[in-house]
A and B are shown apart, each in its own frame.
Chain A
Amino acid sequence: MSIRIVLPTALARHTEGQKSFESQAEDLPSLLAEFDAKYPALAQNVKDPNGKLRRFVNVYVNEEDIRFLGGEAHRFADGDEVMLIPSIAGGCCPCVEWRAKF
């Protein structure tokens, strides 16, 4: 079984810019465990100190919020697209300094 993980720019800075990659995770906890192993910086960014997904991160399975599907208990299906996205997202990479016009 394989699913596709999709990340916005804000999170892709932890995956060397990769915004999309394959995963064999069966559910959200195993996906987070996979991040621990493969992308520890990403895991640190999306998890709170208790190891749970931060409350500011939304997870969508295809077009649906995972909370409508059972949350952590939901089992991914082959070919699912799983997107992690900050709830108030949007913006430039923090390493880029914008200059206002005075």
Chain B
Amino acid sequence: MSSVSPYLCSTTRYELRCNECGKSYGNRPLSACPDCLAPLEVHYDLEPLQGHLTREKVGRGPASIWRYRDLLPVIRAFQPDLPVGFTPLVRASNLGKRLGSDSLYLKNDAVCSPTLSFKDRVVAVALANAQAFGFTTVGCSSTGNLANATAAQAARLGLKTCILVPSDLEAAKVLNTQVYGARLVRIAGSYDHVNRLCTLIADEYHWGLVNVNLRPYYAEGSKTVGYEIAEQLGWRLPDNIVCPMAGGSLMRKIRKGFQEFIALGLVEAKPVRFFGAQASGCSPIAHAVKNGWDYIEPQRPQTIARSLAIGNPADGPAAARMIQETGGWAEDVSDVEMVAGIQELAEDEGVFTETAGGVATAVTARLLAQGRIRRDELTVVCITGNGLKTTDALQGRFAEEAAVRPRLSDFDAYLRSVQPDLIGSQAEPTLAGGVY
């Protein structure tokens, strides 16, 4: 570690470092290396944690991402407020049977607290740093979920909030931002236009933009998805991760989380393959992987999966490289397949996910069909957001039925006409377990 103002969290020293030239920058609201313009990343000195951060210690922690705070870039004085994360990892036997997997799991961030997406994790870490740096106004460029998470958590912390979104964002995501009192600015352009504007805003105003000048800290919050998967699998790593990709950061941080657990002896080392999922209408990272590139050709997004509609993903090149290094792959699916994925996940597992989750589900189906993922391998699919936010994707899928008169005879006639198999036998129901 350099002598440039590293901070201490509970027991860990951390600081910003350039991924390309290796130069250290201490801790400050800065996202790119001033010398080579490459992204900065938080680096930790894990040595003091060896033998001290044990499975038992983590297990005694709160049921939230803060059980891993020793591995997160938050200052020692930080007092966690919200129980963010620690979402269910659920076995998906029915979906597995449909898709041809004997060991399929869902990491269900559709129920992440407080705003129903994995962005709650990254925002929690980013705002802890915004407060540490003394920002009183925070914000972000967002495709929706990040806007919701930033607005909600900033409201609770008493921070002023200004959020920029593309003007075609889903109505639910707009409302779910405005309700918290945030200033929401719709920008006439794509997410990439919004993001570019935010980089200029970060220069001009003394604001903490969670995915711009606080980005290195923000991104670390995604590691908690990896920590939780490993712990919830009984302190072991899966064979495969399938992850939707927008900016390309999440899967890289899941892997970083796995690597830190291995380094600390919390899980056994094991190669994990990473598979990326994108919508065909915006698939720059999948395109790079399929061509064996370590760079990205930007695309103009044309997909209803707006949370994945980033045509020039900031972490895209690194994600493409990482997928190839791990022996994984990336696929992209049409909007029609995505909607089918949403529906299959809901019908099979009772999980209602947003468009990004539909993409992840549909890509998992394809990877199993292609044989890139084998049926006996333990595969975790990351479901990153909730379907209630993108109900417009299902518009017209379910016709509104005529109202039935409140009479048993009418109801019975109606049922016989639409779905007679629901009626079943007329016999008295008996308890499944016999007589008590």
A-side interface residues toward B, CB under 8 Å? 8-10, 13, 45-46, 54-58, 60, 63, 65, 67-68, 83, 85-92, 94, 96-102
* CB pair A101 B134 closer than 8 Å: yes
In the complex, chain A residues whose CB is within 8 Å of the CB of B199? 8, 85-86, 89-90
**Residues on B facing A (Cβ under 8 Å):** 5, 7, 25-32, 34-39, 75-77, 131-134, 189, 192-193, 196, 198-200, 202-203, 209, 212-213, 215, 295, 297-298, 300, 312, 314-315, 317
**A100 and B133 form a contact (CB under 8 A):** yes
Q: Nearest chain B CB to A88's CB is how many angstroms away? A: 5
Whole-angstrom distance between the alpha carbons of A98 and B75 in the complex? 14
- List, sorted by A's number, 23 A–B pairs whose CB atoms are closer than 8 Å: A8-B199, A9-B203, A13-B34, A46-B37, A54-B36, A56-B37, A56-B39, A57-B37, A60-B196, A65-B192, A68-B300, A87-B32, A88-B315, A90-B202, A90-B212, A90-B215, A91-B31, A97-B26, A97-B28, A98-B27, A99-B134, A100-B75, A100-B133
Majority SS at the chain A contact face: loop
Q: Give the contacting residue for A89; candidates B7, B32, B76, B312; CB below 8 A.
A: B32
CB distance from A46 to the nearest CB of B (A): 7
Given contact pairs A56-B36, A68-B298, a sample of 13 additional A-B residue pairs in the complex whose CB atoms are under 8 Å apart:
A13-B34, A63-B189, A85-B196, A88-B32, A89-B202, A90-B30, A90-B31, A90-B32, A90-B213, A92-B30, A100-B27, A101-B131, A102-B76
A92 to chain B: which residues have CB within 8 Å? 28-30, 213
Q: Which chain B residue shows the least CB distance to A8?
A: B203
| Chain B binding surface SS class | loop
Q: How far is the CA of A94 from the CA of B4 in the complex (A)?
A: 12
Q: Which residues of B contact A67 (CB under 8 A)?
A: 297-298
Partner of A86 from B32, B131, B198, B295 at Cβ < 8 Å: B32
Nearest CB on A from B359, distance (A):
24
> Which residue in chain B gives the minimum CB-CB distance to A94?
B34
Quick one: given A86-B37, A90-B32, are A65 and B5 in contact (CB under 8 Å)?
no
Complex Cα spacing A63 to B199, Å = 15
How many angstroms from the CA of A90 to the CA of B204 in the assembled complex?
10
A45 to B198, CA, bound (A): 22
What is the bound-complex CA distance between A28 and B314, given in angstroms? 22
Residues of B within 8 A of A98 (CB): 27-29, 133-134
